[in-house]
Amino acid sequence: MSRLMPRLHVSLRFDPTGAAKLSLGTLDYMRRLNRQRAYELVRREFQRSGITEAELAGRLGKSKDAVAGLLNGPEIWDLDTVSDLLYAISGAVHSPIGSSSHRMSPPLSALVRSKPAWPMVQ
């Protein structure tokens, strides 16, 4: 006796237009896809850099085990994690979705202002 499983229909919209609401399935798929792209970019840059996990851990102020966990998969990554890893690995700013990257020209300290250039909202 076979039991029929209900079929889950997920419609994927790859070209959002207008005000049409995107399905949760589409958003979930795109989140996973972009997280995987970011992971592949970080892994590629890490391999190109030639640094060790211990060196990366030192740069980030994390334990080697914590860095090994981060490099093992993107499940717990947020945008700050991606940014921190990429900058610590190569000193470059990357676009995980596209193929562009560039090195920071001025030192980071030159970009920090004593007063923000825009009003702070509290």
| pLDDT given at position 75 | 85
pLDDT of the residue at 111: 41
38: burial class by Cβ within 10 Å (0-12, 13-18, 19+)? buried
Is 81 buried (19+), middle (13-18) or exposed (0-12) by CB count in 10 A? middle
Q: Where are the domains of the chain?
A: 24-94
Tell me, what's the pLDDT at 110?
A: 41
Q: Which CATH class is domain 24-94?
A: mainly alpha
The dihedral over CA atoms of 88, 92, 98, 99, expressed in degrees to the nearest 10, equals -120
Mean pLDDT across the chain, nearest whole number?
76
Q: For residues 79 and 97, give the distance between their C-alpha atoms in angstroms, rounded to a whole number.
A: 12
